[in-house]
Chain A
Amino acid sequence: MHMADALLAPAVAATMYAASGVAAGWSVRQLRREDEPQQLPTMAVASALVFAGQMINYTIPGTGSSGHLCGGMLLSALLGPQAGFLSMIAVLTIQCLFFADGGLMALGANIWNMAFYGCFVGYYLLWRPILRSKRNISMPRKIIAASLLGCVLTLQLGAFSVVLETTLSGITELPFGAFLALMQPIHLAIGLVEGAVTAAVLVFVYRSRPELLRDVDAADGTGTRSVRATLIILATLVVFVGGGLSLLASSNPDGLEWSLFGNEEAGYSANMGLDEDDYGVASNAAETAAAVQEATAILPDYAFAGSDSPAGTTVSGLVGSVMVAALAALICLVGRTLREKKAAKHSA
């Protein structure tokens, strides 16, 4: 789910940097208050572990494909939300800087999409309430439920943010609803797999060293239902809820469609009042596009559309680009020749 710089407009990237920066600043402040110097090496090793853990492929039974570990939930379960968030930032920064996984400008958005939801939303909304619940459920089952639901929820939120950020940046022509319909189901499946892997690791840690996990009561180890049965119930629940929501979403207009066309059939307002049937190929917009096509067809020689723009949209731009490319090639050639000469001089 790493976003590239090219998928974001500078204003959106700056907003996401500001949001992630506030969360990071608050986390640093909270940790400073705790004043536990030994926590820093633990955070570093845990971050490195998440990085290494994501290099391992886990076979998904019956599919032949493989999944990976969800870092945000694992780190917040081990270190708490603030330390987990900062550790995830370290992982994402190293992935961005050394592996070109995400971009420097998109780092703020990636931190928000992958670290914020996993560490804060996942921890405060699911991990802590589920693990502190007084219901008569065994601790491994609570861990499985929290991991699975946490991974699914945080990945869904992350995928939604990716769609929102890309659409707000005006990067893709894909309509908001279609993009959302493409992203959410894929991440539902990924969330289930990541949740299962994360749950397996955390249950192992609970059985070996329960004191390493946050909000865990080591004495609470009883329960009647097997781990496998819990997994099956949770997976069915998540797929049912996810599928049900998708059906619900498809029967109503999405936010963008709703704002343009309204939903008078269902008793809602007309909003911008555009005619949905006439807003496609045969609309005024399409006629304008056809007029542009006609205009470009009668222009002499080769031309970009709308050549009245002073910014230059004529073919000279294209020729100029080729000239720049040639210049770049020339620079490479000169550089290589100079280096070869230098190497020859050194060897002589």
Chain B
Amino acid sequence: MNRAEQALRELHEMDVLAAGSSPVHALCPAAKFFTTVLYIVLVVSFGKYDLAGLVPMALFPVLLFQCSGIPMGTCFHKLRFMLPLVLTVGLFNPFFDRAPYLMLGGLTVSGGVVSMVTLLLKGTLCLTASFLLMATTRIDALCAALRKLHVPGRFLTLLLLTYRYVGVLTEEAAVMSDAYALRAPGQRGVHHRAWGPFLGQLLLRSMDRAEELYAAMRLRGYHSHFHYALAAPCTVRDAAYLIVCAAAFLLLRFVPVSELLGGLLVR
């Protein structure tokens, strides 16, 4: 499977997940969006050594995974690009920050190791929260919610159209890559002599397609405004979800839950 096919598979997977039905899927996209943003901001705001404080924040994605029925494996598969980058940045911390921070029996753990683990956990939690937002919300419903929040309609239409055409053009790129690979077995990637024509031809076809697309849109009555079919209003239940989540996040952020729990067992 080439990269384009892999990307297509992932897009389809997200579409299928977002079309599911669960109490989380049924929530208003705006409420989910604000909850996710608040969660990410609070997770990132933890101190670089505050590993113990950060751990309870993991309860939110865990609960959402269980309530929505989204498989965790799909999410962790998506983290494969970002986590190595976070790790690369954090990997230097143990070398530059050697001050002892924690004693575990006879083992001294340096501040750098604690900050590296904290960074990795922060990265995982933030990406998981974003994933859960999109795995439980259709993009058109999210755009409808963002439009109500006065995000420019022109940009949202562009986002929706791009999303629609990402699938089409990626599929075309996948077919072209496969055809090229079959004609050039054992060759990794496109040869430099074909760099221009390979993508250039796809580009020219795409520009023609854009003109056809605009003509089709005009025939269906498009006049610079996009009408959203899934603009569901927020209810009391959505407001309650937002308030309860925000209160819980703030509690977990400012009350040392881990230490309080641990204090029950350790003096």
Q: Which residues of A come within 8 Å of B, CB atoms?
A: 2, 4-10, 13, 24-25, 28, 31-32, 37-38, 40-49, 51-53, 55-61, 64, 66, 69, 78, 86-87, 89-91, 93-94, 96-105, 166, 170-175, 196-197, 200-201, 203-205, 208-209, 212, 289, 292-293, 296-297, 299, 302-305, 311-325, 327-328, 331-332, 334-336, 339
Contacts and interface: CB of A to CB of B under 8 A. Distances in A.
A197 B195 contact: yes
Given A44-B161, A205-B203, A321-B51, A315 B266 contact: yes
Interface residues of B, number: 123
10 contacts: A6-B86, A7-B123, A42-B214, A44-B158, A59-B188, A87-B162, A196-B195, A320-B260, A320-B262, A324-B58
Nearest to A102: B82
Interface of B is mostly: helix
Interface string B88-114: 011011011111111111001001100
Interface string B196-214: 1111111110110111011
B103 A319 contact: no
B45 interface: yes
A297 B59 contact: no
A174 B119 CA distance: 14
A131 to B, nearest CB: 18
Given A55-B7, A173-B96, A104 B203 contact: no
Contacts of B211: 38, 41-42
B206 to A, nearest CB: 5
B4 to A, nearest CB: 4
A312 B52 contact: yes
Interface string B243-260: 000000000000011111
Given A90-B162, A173-B115, A305 B101 contact: yes
A82 to B, nearest CB: 11
B127 interface: yes
B100 A296 contact: yes
Contacts of A7: 85-86, 89, 119, 123
B54 to A, nearest CB: 9
A61 B195 CA distance: 11
Question: Which 8 residue pairs across A and B have the least CB separation, nearest first?
Answer: A317-B52, A335-B66, A320-B258, A316-B262, A312-B259, A204-B200, A44-B161, A320-B262
A327 B48 CA distance: 24
A191 B33 CA distance: 35
Nearest to A209: B204
A170 B14 CA distance: 34
Interface of B: 2-4, 7, 10-11, 14, 36-37, 40-41, 43-45, 48, 50-53, 55-56, 58-59, 62-63, 65-67, 69, 78-79, 81-82, 85-86, 89-90, 92-93, 95-105, 108, 111-112, 115, 119-120, 122-123, 126-127, 129-131, 133-134, 139, 152, 154-155, 157-159, 161-166, 168-170, 172-174, 176-177, 187-192, 195-204, 206-207, 209-211, 213-214, 217, 222-224, 256-263, 265-266
Contacts, number: 374
A302 B103 contact: yes
Given A4-B126, A87-B158, 11 more contacts: A28-B152, A40-B158, A42-B211, A42-B214, A100-B131, A171-B119, A197-B195, A302-B102, A320-B258, A320-B261, A335-B65
Contact of A56 (B95, B164, B198, B259): B198
Given A45-B207, A175-B96, A203-B196, A319 B265 contact: yes
A52 B100 contact: no
Contacts of A305: 99-102, 111
Contact of A41 (B56, B99, B154, B214): B214
A59 B190 contact: yes
Contact of B104 (A289, A302, A334): A302
B130 A100 contact: yes
